[in-house]
Amino acid sequence: MPKIYVLDACAIIASLKNEDGADKVENIFISRKKSNDIKIIMHKINLLEVYYDVVKRCGEATAKNVLTEIKKNPIEIISPFSNRIFFQAGKLKAKYRISLADSIALSTAYLQKGVLVTSDHHEFDIVEQKEKISFYWIR
């Protein structure tokens, strides 16, 4: 069974901006290219967060170019909003008062039995203490 990494938007943004933790994200991509025992996934709604961030800072044309570059990485973009994600995200959002997009990343990690790659301690520290969800903190 492959190890599954689920990317939160902040992981991709850290990589794009070469922020602290960018090296950890890049190492996941390198590991995936070397091994089929690693799978990297991201929900399309979390990718929307990345797109929004780049549009806000740099404009739509740059954001579209960034999306093209992101898609060159070995990331499987999950786009269906299944009932399983719907109910799990709703439950986690209500319980922990996290953002909608973060509840989707968290639900994706939970349902895929993956490791959530993130830097959002302010959202997820309490979740890590109380839920059976694995985290890979990039900083």
What digits encode the pLDDT tens for the residues 69-123? 999 999 999 998 999 999 999 999 999 999 999 999 999 999 999 999 999 999 9
The partner residues of 77 in beta bridges, in order of sequence, read 42
pTM across the whole model: 0.95
The token pair at 135 is: 């985290």
The residues near 81 (Cβ < 8 Å, ≥ 6 apart) are: 45
Q: How much is the pLDDT for 1?
A: 80
pLDDT digits (tens, 9 = 90+) for 44-73: 999 999 999 999 999 999 999 999 999 999
Instruction: Answer whether residue 135 shows pLDDT above 90.
Output: yes
Range of the domain at 127: 3-137
Q: In 10 A of CB 68, how many CB atoms?
A: 9
- Our count of domains for the chain comes to 1
Residue 29 has a CB neighbour count (10 Å cut-off) of 18
Closest CA to 47 of 96, 86, 119, 105: 105
CATH of residue 87's domain is 3.40.50.1010
DSSP-derived secondary structure letter, 58: H
Q: Check whether 133 has a pLDDT greater than 90.
A: yes
8-28 per-position pLDDT tens digit? 999 999 999 999 999 999 999
